[in-house]
Amino acid sequence: MKVLQICHKPPLPAIDGGCLAMNDISNGLIKKGCDLKILTLSTAKHPFQKNKLSDNYLRTTKIEHVEIDTNLKPSAAFFNLFSSESYNINRFYSKEFEEKIISQLKSNQFDIVHLESLFVVPYLRVIQENTTAKIVYRAHNIEQQIWWEKYEQCKNPLKKSYLKLLYQRLKRFEDKHLNSFDGIAAISQMDIQQMKKLGCTIPCVEVPFSINPNTYYPTSSNTSNDLFYLGSLDWIPNLEGLNWFLENCWENLVTIYPNLKLHIAGKSMPESISNLNTKGIVIHGEVLDAMEFIREQGIMIVPLFSGSGIRIKVLEGMALEKAIIGTTKAMEGIPITKKEGCIADTADDFCEAIKKLHLNKDLQIEMGKNARIFVKKHFNNDEIINQLMEFYSTI
């Protein structure tokens, strides 16, 4: 099967969850014998870095990129006010990238064109005009839901008004294209249900982020009963969740357990976090190896209250046998029981779960082992890619 995977940012280096999810698909398709071609945009935030890619990756993906400036520009944002188009989406349009897509479609007979995220959907029209391949939209989340939550949470009246405009235009774009593909590969069953509520009638399949257990090696020597947080802090829901935990839980916890530590790591850390001088909090900043950081830590906390999709760091933590305490939102798409993790939606819930695990190392270890078993059963890479391949064949 010949597949063209079109990405809005390079899958590698995998510096965030979106990159991991795209690379997960790439690796799975190659492993199943697909003839894969990757076209990707390269931005200042997510640049294409050939020197960080292996010769084998370059050979098997035949990856090509086009540079694009997606930085927010006040003048462009201002003039966009007088159009009906989504500024969020328009920033990812490049004539050069469009021409590269057309060139590939004209010189190759692809079976599948796999679109990674809503931000490459602006190229849908030229794809449809230049290929008979089936087009599959990989929905990493429901973008309009994220922007609705940003609008709802904003306190500044002027900014709130602008966020509402951005939300309305993004929603219009997302809703308009829901039935424009041959199929949708969503990252969670909850996202499929939400898309159906929005009017989606085309075939959908759940293709969550998958785990290859052989690449996740838990440590047997870690005995830490401290807490840790890992997340990209340029994503507003992550920052808001962490701030909520610090404001509503930490003071109470460190009063009861004076020796308790909270290790915080993540890229794009604002000064409000990096300059914290609070008892028990250890700031690591951006870490070179996220998996190694997780492996060395104790209990993972995931205080998340908005966003959609699936939390890849939660699955990675589970694969590394970490006991995890997260909100219902954080565990969305991961149907755990109390044997595999703790769900906490209030400050009292978090404090109680932390107390239980902090004081009972055996329970922490048992929960971590159950979590790994759960991930191996429900998020196994081979089985999930098989589901995607079957979906490709039936649409």
Residue by residue, DSSP assigns 96-135 as HHHHHHHHHHHH---SEEEEESGGGGGGHHHHHHH--SEE
Q: Is the CB of residue 104 less than 8 Å from the CB of residue 4?
A: yes
- Tally Cβ neighbours within 10 Å of residue 203: 14
pTM listed for this prediction: 0.82
* C-alpha span between 115 and 123 (Å, rounded): 9
* C-alpha span between 37 and 31 (Å, rounded): 14
- Tally Cβ neighbours within 10 Å of residue 247: 10
Domains of the chain: 2-210+380-394 (3.40.50.2000), 214-378 (3.40.50.2000)
CA-nearest of 359, 216, 212 to 298 is: 359
Q: Is the CB of residue 219 less than 8 Å from the CB of residue 296?
A: yes
Nearby residues of 193 by Cβ (< 8 Å), 6 or more positions away:
none
What are the pLDDT digits (tens) for 299-325? 999 999 987 666 889 999 999 999 999
* C-alpha span between 301 and 342 (Å, rounded): 10
3-state secondary structure of 332: coil
Paired with 302 in beta bridges are 326
CA-nearest of 224, 190, 230, 228 to 206 is: 190
* C-alpha span between 359 and 185 (Å, rounded): 42
CA-nearest of 309, 312, 375 to 341 is: 375
* C-alpha span between 342 and 235 (Å, rounded): 24
What are the pLDDT digits (tens) for 352-383? 999 999 999 999 999 999 999 999 999 988 88
- Cα dihedral angle (311, 204, 384, 377), rounded to 10 degrees? 70
pLDDT on residue 142: 92
Nearby residues of 337 by Cβ (< 8 Å), 6 or more positions away:
none
* C-alpha span between 72 and 78 (Å, rounded): 11
* C-alpha span between 203 and 221 (Å, rounded): 46
Amino acid identity for residue 51 in this structure? N
Residue by residue, DSSP assigns 331-377 as TTT----TTT-EE--SHHHHHHHHHHHHS-HHHHHHHHHHHHHHHHH
Nearby residues of 182 by Cβ (< 8 Å), 6 or more positions away:
134, 135, 136, 202, 203, 395
Q: Report whether the peptide linkage leading into residue 258 is cis, meaning its omega lies within 30 degrees of zero.
A: no
The radius of gyration of the chain's CA atoms, rounded to the nearest angstrom, is: 21
* Residue burial 16-45, b: 16+ Cβ < 10 Å; e: rest: bbbbbbbbbbbbbbbeeebebbbbbbbbee
Q: What is the pLDDT along the chain (395 residues), one digit of tens a residue?
A: 999 999 999 999 988 888 989 999 999 999 999 999 999 999 999 999 999 999 999 999 999 999 999 887 777 777 677 777 888 899 999 999 999 999 999 999 999 999 999 999 999 999 999 999 999 999 998 999 888 988 888 889 999 999 999 999 999 999 999 999 999 999 888 899 999 999 999 999 999 988 888 888 888 666 689 999 999 898 888 999 999 999 999 999 999 999 999 999 998 999 999 999 999 999 999 998 889 999 999 999 999 998 766 688 999 999 999 999 999 999 988 999 999 999 999 999 999 999 999 999 999 999 999 999 999 999 988 889 999 999 999 99
* C-alpha span between 11 and 207 (Å, rounded): 17
Tokens standing for residue 154 = 């904003």
pLDDT on residue 223: 66
